[in-house]
Structures are given as structure tokens and as C-alpha cells.
Structure 1
Amino acid sequence: MKKISLSLALCASSAVSVSAYNVVLVTGLANHMADDWYGVLDSHFDFGGADTLSFGAYDNYSGAAITDLENADLIVVSRTTVSDNYIQTGEAAYWNSLSSSMILANRFLARDQRFGWASENDVSVGSDTGSETDVSAAGSAFFGLSGAGGYDLMDAGFDSVGLLNGTNSFGDGEVFGEISGFGFSSVHWAAGDLTANGVSLGGERLFFGAEVGFSLTADGLTAVETAFDKMVVPEPSQYAMLVGLLGLGFTLLRRRA
């Protein structure tokens, strides 16, 4: 009995400790390693090891499924993407239908006339001086911060926070961060939530406005990396293995009883 229990415990531990994530960086740069998001992703995930990174613009959607996006555990859409390249008929519907979790940094793609997450087309940038971002209680919990309040998430020196203007609405989306007097810097939707355009999202979504050349502070890095961990889709094989092991354990125990 003890040997069976110990073996199952060790196998279950191994099953849940293994991570193998497919991450997609949607970038407008020919050299994806020059994208600011690449460094953040590369320092967090084990690319070249257990995890894989795919990259590209993935624009001009033609109606066929895009394998990288369909198989992604996490998609990060950089501000380097050009929003005019994502206006083809059916493209917004496709991106919104994806079950993969997505972090969108490009404020222009969140607009009413692109992906339709926000109700308007007005966007701006905000000052990143001092504790520029007012984070809500829900946002603080999501980002792994120490409570609601003002946070310095971006290094000062340039306007690096992409914003959706303060008159926007977001359907079922919940505002996690804003810069007072400027607009909303982060908004979250759970899978199945409605966008401002009334579209049900196929997976979890986070707007996190970050302009080209952004640089994260320690709190900013904590927020982003915690978001990665919470949004990345769990590897199904790990859970299938764990459930199978537990089922085997119960069967053996019942037979020995």
C-alpha cells in the first residue's frame, strides 16, 4: 500500500511540474528579437528548452486557420503591429474567437473599428512619470501587486503607456489600470465575456497598453510576468496524466480493500 501511494505521489508530482508552452509573439518587426516584448518573454519562458516561441505579423487573414495561433497557450500582440493590416473582413471575428489567451499591447487594435474591444476609436498615450498607473483592487490581485493604489509600472523618460480614452466602455471588460486624466491602460476580459461590440470572446483577453520602446519597472515586470502565469493555457497532457494516475490509484486501493 505504501509503495503504491508513494509511486503515485511521485508520478503526480512529475506530471504537474512539467511545463511546455507554445507562445506566439505577434510583431510587426522583421527581426522579432528587436521587439521589446521578446526580451520580457524570453526571460520568463524556457525558449529553446521546454517552451516554444513562434513569431510573425499573422496579418491578412485569409479565412483559413493559422496553426500557430490555434495551438498557442499564450499570444502577445505587440505595439509594433500595424493596425491597418488587420482590417480584412472576418479578421476581427477570427482573432476574437481564438481560445488561446491573448495580451494585446496595441491600443489601435483594441479600437471599435479593429477588434472592437473598446467602444470608441479614440486612443492616446500617457505620461509615465512617478506612480503613473492607478491600479484597482481586482487589478492588483491579478497582477500580483500589494493592493489598490498608484504604481510606477513603466520607467520614466517617454510616453510609453498606450491608453484607451476615458470615455470608452468595454462590454464585460473590467478596468484594471488607468492614468487619471488620460485614459485606461489595462482592461481584462474572461473567456466568454462580451466586447464593447457585443462579441463573445473565445478565450481570456488582457489589454495592457505598452508603446514601442517601453521599459518595465520592477513592479511592471511583476505585473506582466504574473499575467503570463495566470493567462497561459495549462498543458492538457499534464492534467490528463494526473487524472489518469489518480484514477489508477483509486482503482488499486479499491481492489486491495
Structure 2
Amino acid sequence: MAKANVVSFRRTGKSIFFALLYGLLSAIAINDFLNVTNSYSVGVLGAAQLIHALNGHLSMSLLMTLFNVPLFIFAWRVFGFRYILFSGLAALANIVFLGIIPPMVLVKDPLTNTIIGSAMIGLSVGWCFNNGFTTGGTDIIVTYCQRRFHKNVGFFANTVNGLIALLTLIFFGPGRIIYTIIGMLTVNGLMDYAFASQTDVMVVIFTKRADKLIKQLRKFTHGATVLRGEGAYTGKPTDVIMVVTPRGQFTFLRDLVKAVDANAFMSIQKSDVEQGEYTHYSL
């Protein structure tokens, strides 16, 4: 029980750190890089930039708040409270830092500004995804689609952000859209790179404490199948538990297993093809 509490504490601390890091990096990216060259970001950030550019009386903090409220209600119903907790912290940190970070011209070249700012956003979003939560906004919809249809998050992000690029072209002409498209591609490419959990893996667990481990796995999102085995050299019984899970959730699964059986052996294999439903326990 003590080990499980330590694991939970560390995971919570790690999630808080990356939520705050996203808020800081994304605010710096917007205020000091993307806004300098009038390049618009992705998702809600990009939409808020566009509306703010059209109507300067509406602050980005207010727009971010208004956009995120209905999406967080959806996320609460679909993903649960923990998902909302850290996503809300990430969104709140972004709103606060947007108001704190002073706008500065750090780099004059527009292409450099676009790439640096977009890279900061893409990496920080991917790190949040890897820790089981989003940064709010359209990331909630992207995460839902990724889990539902098992495609790269960049695929859905490009679809959503196409509308922002189109509006940029309509309202501001082709000059700004070039940098906006470059920025979007950079964000989505690095988001996919950082977000390892878009790939499903099959985890095979060899344990002699299957009964206790099964009780804990019932709390895990994905199903598991238990096979009764025997050691070839020792002749002693060894249970084999198989789980298919997104790679990003493997850390949670590994910590759960180690908290129950520190001597458990785990083998991880990439799952390239899936068919049918795998949501039951075969005990």
C-alpha cells in the first residue's frame, strides 16, 4: 500500500509539473514568438489569436476561458475527473502566464520566430498527452478521436486546424498563412514525436502474484487475459497476464504492477494491427 501511495504521489507531481510547464512555454511561444510575426498557433490558441487580432478589446485570456468551458464539460463526462483536473490546471496555467509574460521581440526573423514558438507548443502539448491529460481546447477532441479511432494525433489536429488556416487566408491574406501553415506543421510534427502513446503496445506480464495483481488491474482502463504457465527450468507455476494498452499509459501500468510484485517481468511489443473488442477479463 505504501509503494502504491508513493507511485501515485510521484505520478501526480509529474503531471502537475508538465501542466505548469505547458502553461509557461505556450505563453512564451505566443507572446514572444508567434505574435511577433503574426503567425497563428493551432487549436483554441490559434482561434483566440485570430479573434484577438480582429477585435483587440477581447483579451486572449477571456477568449481561452470561453472556449474551454464547454470542452471541459465534455471531457469530464468522457474521461473523468482526473483528466479534467490536470487539463484544467494546464489551461489555467496558460491563461495566467499569457497575462504575466511580457510581449518582447527576442528574434526578428519571422521564420525563426514561427519555428521556435511552434516547437515550444508542440513539445509541451505532447508531454502533457504522454502523462494522460490534454492542454484543454481542441486537444480534448483530438485525444478522444485518437483513442476512438487509433490514428496519430497530428492527423486530427491538421483537420481541425485547417479551418484556422482558411480564416487566416480570408481575413489577412496569403502573407500570414505561409508562416501559420509552417507553424502548424511544426506543432503537429513535434506533438506526434513527443506523444509516444499514440501507438498501442501489448504488455506481457510474468508474475507469481497474479491474484493480487488482477484485483489492481480491474481498476485499469483496458482488459487483461490471464494464462496459467509453468517455468521450463524450475517447473514452478508462473501466471502470464496479457494487456493491450496505448503506450502512453504503459508507465501507469508498469508502476501498478511493480507496486504489487516488484519481481514481475514485463515484455512490451508494439501492436500494429488490432481487430475486434478487447475489453473483458478472462480469468
Structure number with the higher helix fraction is 2
TM, length-normalised to structure 1:
0.23
Structure number with the higher strand fraction is 1
TM, length-normalised to structure 2:
0.21
